[in-house]
């Protein structure tokens, strides 16, 4: 755990040592605010909640999180520093978990920076803060799901552009698998059990369930399982590439 903690701290500080972190946070805040107030009609709705804020998170994460995740391993491989990292007394699993946690914490920091919107809705009315907290938790878990997929794709290539495009494509599939019009396209020739399983794998569906204020253990387990499996796959790819 000490090694993982050291890697996490090193990687997290590296984010803020370059303009990348600040550019990402500014873009995230600007898009979140713009979509919430101008597209989501936050003021016009006249309701004290953050539904217009959270409804855009899956779409923001679809592009912003792969932009963070694409550099986790692709950049290391391109610059050759991954070989140096693997020569240190650090296992592949420790390196994978440490780098992932740093990126996930960074995404959490960006999410925390949106707290003024939460404060604003409390000034304007009396929202159900329990629902808002659940939505924040669901948003962070969803970011973790997007990020672990992006990390796996990043480990497969040294090209960050390919890593970004591949991550967006795979994340989109995971996000849309539970949407009604996608389900209807398979209904009738796919067994109902398989169809329900595909729907249960939807990032969007599990996030929506939590954002409604009900922190169901099944949804939390889904995200944690996705992250755990993703980290295992990421570790296997790094080990495979190391031996290549």
Give the number of other Cβ atoms within 10 Å of residue 144's Cβ.
Answer: 22
Contacts of residue 146, defined as CB under 8 A and 6 or more positions apart, other chains included, come to 61, 62, 65, 66, 69, 167, 171, 203
Instruction: Please report the pLDDT score of residue 158 as a whole number.
Output: 84
Q: Is pLDDT of 243 > 60?
A: no
Average pLDDT rounded to a whole number, residues 118-141: 92
Instruction: Please report the pLDDT score of residue 85 as a whole number.
Output: 64
Select, from the ranges 46-50, 71-75, 104-108, the one with the highest average predicted confidence (pLDDT): 104-108
Q: Is pLDDT of 80 > 70?
A: no
Question: 134 or 185: whose pLDDT is higher?
Answer: 134
Average pLDDT rounded to a whole number, residues 104-122: 93
Report yes or no: 70 and 167 within 8 Å, Cβ to Cβ.
yes
Whether the predicted model's global pTM rises above the 0.85 cut: yes
Report yes or no: 29 and 56 within 8 Å, Cβ to Cβ.
no
Residue 85, CB half-sphere, CA atoms under 13 Å: how many? 25
Helix and strand counts by DSSP (H, E) for the chain:
15, 0
Question: What is the CA angle 47-53-59, rounded to 5?
Answer: 145
Average pLDDT rounded to a whole number, residues 146-157: 93
């Amino acid at each position: 755990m000490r090694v993982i903690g050291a890697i996490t701290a090193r990687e997290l500080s590296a984010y803020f040592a370059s303009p990348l972190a600040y550019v990402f946070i500014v873009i995230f805040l600007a898009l979140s605010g713009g979509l919430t107030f101008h597209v989501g009609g936050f003021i016009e709705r006249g309701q004290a909640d953050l539904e217009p804020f959270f409804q855009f998170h899956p779409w923001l994460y679809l592009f912003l999180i792969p932009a963070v995740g694409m550099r986790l391993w692709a950049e290391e491989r391109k610059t050759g520093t991954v070989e140096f990292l693997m020569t240190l007394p650090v296992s592949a699993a420790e390196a994978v978990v440490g780098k992932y946690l740093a990126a996930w914490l960074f995404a959490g920091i960006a999410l925390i920076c949106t707290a003024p919107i939460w404060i604003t809705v409390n000034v304007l009315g009396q929202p159900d803060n329990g629902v808002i907290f659940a939505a924040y938790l669901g948003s962070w878990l969803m970011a973790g799901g997007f990020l672990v997929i992006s990390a796996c794709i990043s480990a497969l290539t040294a090209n960050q552009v390919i890593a970004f495009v591949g991550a967006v494509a795979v994340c989109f599939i995971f996000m849309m698998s539970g949407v009604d019009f996608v389900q209807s396209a398979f209904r009738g020739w796919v067994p109902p059990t398989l169809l329900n399983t595909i729907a249960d794998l939807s990032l969007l569906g599990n996030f929506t369930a939590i954002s409604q204020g009900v922190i169901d253990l099944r949804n939390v387990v889904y995200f944690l399982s996705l992250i755990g499996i993703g980290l295992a796959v990421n570790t296997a790819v790094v080990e495979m590439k190391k031996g290549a």
